[in-house]
Amino acid sequence: MGWTWMFWLLLIVGVLLLAGLGIWFSAGWRRGGSAGSADGRGAGLAGSGDTPGEILDERFARGELTAEEYHERLRTLKGGN
């Protein structure tokens, strides 16, 4: 058996590390990451410093809200109920 087990162990560890790095980098690109934005903030994440109006605009642009829901929530944000 010799060093064969060490080869397979290192191969498995290497594949797992590459998969983990791939997931980590792809998640960073989806979030907008610090490299993706000029001011270092994530794009549209809660707690990223976006105003409620900007978050609402982004959700409407992504199709998460209908036009009716968007306008109703915009009125609520502006205090018009």
- HEC profile for 10-78? HHHHHHHHHHHHHHHHHHHHHHCHHHHCCCCCCCCCCCCCCCHHHHHHHHHHCCCCCHHHHHHHHHHHC
Mean predicted lDDT score pLDDT of the chain: 78
Q: Which range marks the domain in which residue 70 is found?
A: 51-81
Does a structural domain hold residue 20?
no
pLDDT value of position 31: 59
Does a structural domain hold residue 45?
no
Contact (CB, 8 A) for 70 and 78: no
Residue 68: is its pLDDT beyond 50?
Answer: yes
Does a structural domain hold residue 79?
yes
Overall average pLDDT of the 57-78 stretch: 90
Does a structural domain hold residue 80?
yes
pLDDT tens-digit profile of 32-46? 554 444 444 444 455
Does a structural domain hold residue 72?
yes
Does a structural domain hold residue 14?
no
Count of domains for the chain: 1
Predicted structure pTM score = 0.40
Structure token pair of residue 49? 């410093």
Contact (CB, 8 A) for 45 and 54: no
Does a structural domain hold residue 71?
yes
